[in-house]
Structure 1
Amino acid sequence: MSDRPLRLVVLGLSLSSAWGNGHATTYRALLKAFAARGHRVLFLERDVPWYASQRDLASPDYCELVLYRDLDDLRRWQDDIAAADAVVLGSYVPQGVAVGDLVQRIARGATAFYDIDTPVTLAKLARDDEEYIAARQVPQFDLYLSFTGGPTLRRLEREYGAPAARVLHCSVDPAVYQPLGGPRRWDLSYLGTYSDDRQPMLEALLLEPARRAPQLRFVVAGAQYPAGIDWPANVERLEHVAPADHPAFYTASRFTLNVTRQDMVQAGHSPSVRLFEAGACGTPVISDTWDGIEALFRPGEEILLATRPGQVLDILLGTAEPARDRLAAAFRQRVLGAHTAAHRAAELEGHLRAALRRHDHLAREQAAT
């Protein structure tokens, strides 16, 4: 088992469409790199109208992508799920609890839950909201892969009974995300879908600086922003930037902003994929603050932190181009040295093989009793 290729089945929110979600970008980079290690991947995605009308990846060349209509239709792939070496269920899969029950009932290999939204998941479970995973299911997964590291991993094991909680941060594909050169259109950019709990920080770190410095240029790109937002005249709005256009977006930004959801701020150790994407493109990041960010990047040398509008303006108005370029180069070096999809794929393989060994050992013990 330690050498042969693995057969992996992934049931995730979306691979085919990156519209309004960060899951697709994460899966694409990770599974492309995982397949490059010699493994075979089947991705099962619920066919929902929202993504059906916004698909930007119909047929990936690194895995088999299958769309299923509903739970009854999903059962057509029961044999693949049963025969796989490992089956991974992702967060926010429609009817995820029922899908998880199906996986845990029929899979003969190792099973894992891949939580791209761990702090949100735990907040939901704390209020008995089992939208896509039930608390009873956590101990039944051989492996709990979490976007969030740090103390959250111990909490998953101690409070929820996960047999093995392991961090698997997001990553970036450096073949796709790289500096492109060309003119800079914006002094500060932000790329992200609207979120109620992110909006106050976006107001503080981008919209208010824009109001105070009308000579600077800003942009906010992302879907689902409500009509009532007061956008300053020097803030451009883009409804959507397709993944293929992300490198051009970042490269056209002198700086880009990272804003974190409150559940993830409270948990800490939850880097956004936007951090790694921007870094690979050679664009320095101004980020809000949260526990664990200093374990990933050196503040002041690889990333800049801000909590108030004045701090953002000091950076935008007071950073000379040579200093900005040194920051960008250091940031990019750190990302390419530790946070590429190839790094994550190697980590995923290690976690899955360890889970398989534990799974097989437990099965032998149960057979012997």
Structure 2
Amino acid sequence: MKIAFYGSSLVSAYWNGAATYYRGLLRALAVRGYDITFYEPDVYERQQNRDIDPPDWCKVVVYEGTIGSLKTVAARAGEADIVVKASGVGFEDERLLEEVLVHARPGALKIFWDVDAPATLLEIRGDAGHPLRQALGTLDLVLTYGGGDPVVQAYGGLGARECIPIYNALDPDTHHPVAPDERFSADLGFLGNRLPDREARVEDFFLEPASRLIQTRFLLGGSGWHDKPMSSNIKRVGHVATGEHNAFNVTPKAVLNISRESMAQNGFSPATRVFEAAGAGACLITDHWEGIELFLRPDEEVLVARDGKDVVDLLADLTTERARSIGKKAMARVLANHTYTQRAEIVDSIFRAQLRARTGAAA
């Protein structure tokens, strides 16, 4: 079956947190026999900051950030059995959704894949005329990056026929244990771009503990932090390419996950960073959010902090031996229960059930 997937970027993780998610899921679906074309706009300097070459398991079509180019690639939706428009593509998202739905053939499965459901729902709840909200009744399915029952119920209340979370996971071929790298040596590392919906939480969970533990080494990776005031014991390394994430995760004694405000409030939204760190065997400290126990066991496979004081206390008690034990158990858990191969099995069964329901024949 052919999939036309319209997303932010497959080949660049630059200001694009969904890249790992897309790569893991689509690669696993390709293994299951899907013929996938990924359409991405040339915006935000992503094509100048590619971190992978176009893969052999998916055709990548990069189009110019113009309405004409958008219309050209949207017309190719008519070639696919399954048409996916993701959230946050980054160029004329509403226009792209309209054009894709116009060109999708009548028998195709039409899906909106939301990689930031709390933000999307906040935007469309207050706007009855929003193009996505208007389109929900014509879409066959909404899939989401996470969110659990709160997101499922919210989408249902807005008119979606069906909403199913497909959570982040691990691709063990790309995120796995490696040798430590002295560049990333620290007691606690945090990797994340500077975003308005996250900055206050970074101040609470990372910057404030660093200011209190001046003899402790902190490591900050990600874009946008160059002019942010912070204590001298924080080493800033800027953008970290995905190929270096393993070393970033395994070198510090522990690494920190800090959810964006909307994700933390909603819960059931583990970031890709959670599975990347666990897959590398890192000791992960995460901010608290509802549903964490569905993915990793607190105090055994992950450490959970409710505020900056908890981060300080956890670091004070964390020995190298315990950190290694937590990382080892976390890696075993995600390899057993949370790989993209397993997520793709779920997606494949959803696709086939949807297509059978509409055709009355085996897909």
TM superposition score normalised by structure 1: 0.90
Q: What is the rounded CA distance, in whole Å, between the counterparts of 1:253 and 1:358 in structure 2?
A: 50
Name the residue aligned to 1:151.
Answer: 149
2:117 match: 118
- Alignment correspondent of 1:48: 43
Unaligned runs of 5+ in 1: 1-5, 362-369
* Deviation, structure 1 residue 153: 4.0
Q: Is 2:204 aligned against 1:204?
A: yes
**AA in 1 matched with 2:170:** V
| Cα distance per residue 1:196-230 (max 9 Å; x no partner) | 23222212222222122222111111112362x22
Q: Which residue of 2 aligns with 1:35?
A: 30
Which residue is 1:72 aligned to?
A: 68
Q: Secondary structure at the match of 2:335?
A: helix
Q: Which runs of 4+ in 1 moved over 6 A?
A: none
Structure 2: distance between partners of 1:181 and 1:130: 53
> What is the aligned counterpart of 2:93 among 88, 93, 96?
96
Distance in structure 2 (CA, Å) of the matches to 1:260 and 1:78: 33
Structure 1 pair 102/187, CA: closer, same or farther in 2 (3 Å)? same
Over 3 Å counting, the alpha-carbon distance change for 1:150 and 1:77 in structure 2 is closer
Cα displacement (A) at 1:130: 8.3
Query: Residue type of the partner of 1:105?
Result: V
Equivalence for 2:82: 86
Match of 1:367 in 2: none
Matching residue's letter, 2:19: A
Indicate the residue corresponding to 2:248 in structure 1: 249
SS at match of 2:219: strand
CA contact (8 A) 1:124 1:130 kept: no
Task: Assess if the C-alpha contact under 8 Å between 2:152 and 2:165 holds in 1.
Answer: no
Q: Percent identity?
A: 33
Q: Which amino acid aligns with 2:97?
A: G
Deviations 1:250-308 (CA, angstroms, capped at 9, x unpaired) = 11121111111111122111110000000000011111111111222211111111123
SS in 2 for 1:42: strand
CA contact (8 A) 1:148 1:267 kept: no
CA distance in 2, matches of 1:357, 1:149: 27
Distance 1:295 1:89 in 2: 28
- Partner of residue 365, structure 1: none
Matches within 5 A, 1:206-355: 206-225=206-225, 227=227, 229-355=228-354
Change (3 A) 1:292 1:249: same
After superposition, residues 134-173 of structure 1 pair within 5 angstroms as 134-173=132-171
Counterpart in 1 of 2:8?
A: 13
Q: What SS class does the counterpart of residue 128 from structure 1 fall into?
A: coil
Q: Structure 1: which amino acid aligns with 2:168?
A: C
**Aligned counterparts of 2:10 and 2:104: Cα–Cα separation in 1:** 22
The TM-score, its normalising length taken from structure 2, stands at 0.92
Give the SS at the match of 2:269.
coil
Equivalence for 1:366 = none
Please give the per-residue CA displacement for 1:70-124, whole angstroms capped at 9, x wherever unaligned: 3322443456411311011111122122211122222121011111100010011
Q: Output the amino acid matched with 2:102.
A: R
Aligned residue-pair number: 355
Deviates more, 1:8-17 or 1:55-64: 55-64
Shift in Å, 1:342? 1.0
Aligned-partner Cα distance in 1 for 2:68–2:239: 33
- State the one-letter code of the partner of 1:103: V
- Work out the CA distance in 1 between the residues paired with 2:98 and 2:40: 17
| Cα gap change, 1:257 to 1:92, in 2 (>3 Å) | same
Give the Cα–Cα distance (whole angstroms) in 1 for the partners of residues 202 and 359 of structure 2.
Answer: 48
Tell which deviates more after alignment, 115-124 or 318-327: 318-327
Residue 36 of structure 1 and its aligned partner are, at CA, apart by 1.4
**Which residue identity is paired with 1:177?**
H
What per-residue deviation string (whole Å, max 9, x for no partner) do you get for residues 216-250 of structure 1? Answer: 111111112362x2211110112100011111111
